[in-house]
Structure 1
Amino acid sequence: MADTPTGGGASGAPGAGRARDDTGSQNDTGPAEQPVSLRDAVALATRAHTGQLDKAGDDYIGHPLRVMEAVGDAAQRAGVDPDQARMVAVLHDVVEDTDVSLAKLTSLGYPSDVVAAIDALSHRDGESVEQYLARVAGNPLSVVVKRADMADNSDPARLARLPLEQANRYARRYSDRVRLLDDLVVDRMRTG
């Protein structure tokens, strides 16, 4: 349902590449001097997804915000940093669906683990679902976020807003992908 946003994409992050002063506001002094925060990530995702709609016609930003809210406990159980998981979650579609690049995230000061997880979550042209999910399975932060992403995309309450045939197609798609990701994670644990 939130699979691919529709509508006009954002042109990146206004104010990107600017340092914050002590009050947290942006200034033009150069690269980021303070670590980026979850609040920064939410602001970037909100700007980047402005004008995009999900399959039900809602503002697309709702999807990454819901995924962000869902990953905290799962991150702790998986042994990954919950704050980094939330940051990855809110930004998980910006590289794939907006003009924001991995290089831009790095230049803004996002931690390398966060950028690597977003990279793993970003589809490549011509890539099969199996190749994509195998890459996701190799990054623990990405696994936590992808599971929350697929749970949100297959939420029955959200699917009920779509035509029945489309809702059933999405439900099957995400059920199959959850099984495949789980199998790939188990395989990686056995061989890893």
Structure 2
Amino acid sequence: MDWVAQARELASQAHAGQQDKAGHPYIEHVARVAAAIHDDDMAKAAAWLHDVVEDCTQHAAQVQAFPAPIRDTVTLLSRHSAADADQYYARIRQHPLALKVKLADIADNAHPRRLLQLAPAVADRLRGKYAAALAALG
């Protein structure tokens, strides 16, 4: 089974019509995160699905059809999986697949080109958020 293709299809369905903070199709962010993952199909599939459980609850159950390494990674990447930010980042830090995807996610979200598309106050807040996340991830 081509889990990457299956994940891409589910992510495309789940994020259809969603926009990011700059007004672009949200799936473009997800695709960039997945494209940043090389030589690891489990992580690449999880990258496609990394926001489905958290942001697309009507599609979350479909993630259960994927193999355990993908499911577990996607679950850890959901903010709902931990009581607070410290626990959230500590759990990701201990899970190689989740860490790989989260670092790619932060790199895309914190890219200067993306931040320049936002209001300065929003961009400044996000820079701080992503710097704190990177510090928490070690």
TM range (shorter): over 0.9
1:9-64 deviations in Å (ceiling 9; x for gaps): xxxxxxxxxxxxxxxxxxxxxxxxxx343111111100000111100001110111
Q: What is the TM-score with the length of structure 1 in the denominator?
A: 0.68
Q: What do residues 147-166 of structure 1 show as CA deviations (whole Å, max 9, x unaligned)?
A: 00011110000000111111
The alpha-carbon deviation at position 126 of structure 1 amounts to: 7.7
| Bigger CA radius of gyration | 1
Secondary structure in 2 matching 1:58: coil
* Equivalence for 1:165: 121
Structure 1 gaps of 5+ residues are 1-34, 77-81, 183-192
Contact 2:82 2:88 in 1 (8 A): no
> 135-144 vs 121-130, which deviates more?
121-130
**Among residues 13, 21, 35, which one is paired with 1:55 in the alignment?**
21
**What is the deviation of 1:139?**
1.3
**1:158 & 1:126 partners in 2: Cα distance?**
28
Query: Is the partner of 2:79 in helix, strand or coil?
Result: coil
Q: Please name the residue that 1:104 is paired with.
A: 62
Partner of 2:45: 87
Note the 1:1-192 alignment, pairs <5 A. Answer: 35-72=1-38, 82-98=40-56, 99-101=58-60, 103-106=61-64, 108=65, 110-124=66-80, 127-182=83-138
Distance between the aligned counterparts of 1:154 and 1:173, measured in 2? 9
After TM superposition, where is structure 1 displaced by more than 4 Å over at least 4 residues in a row?
none
Using the TM superposition, give the Cα deviation of residue 125 of structure 1 relative to its aligned residue in structure 2, in angstroms.
Answer: 7.5
**When the two structures are aligned, how many residues end up with a matched partner?**
137
> What value does the CA root-mean-square deviation take over the aligned residues?
1.5
TM-score (norm 2): 0.93
- How far apart are the structure 2 equivalents of 1:83 and 1:41? 10
Q: Can you list the C-alpha shifts for 1:70-92, whole angstroms capped at 9, x where unaligned? A: 121xxx6xxxxx11111000100
- Deviation (angstroms), 1:104: 2.7
What is the percentage of aligned positions where both structures have the same residue? 38
Partner of 2:37, secondary structure, is helix
Comparing both structures, which one devotes a greater share of its residues to helix? 2
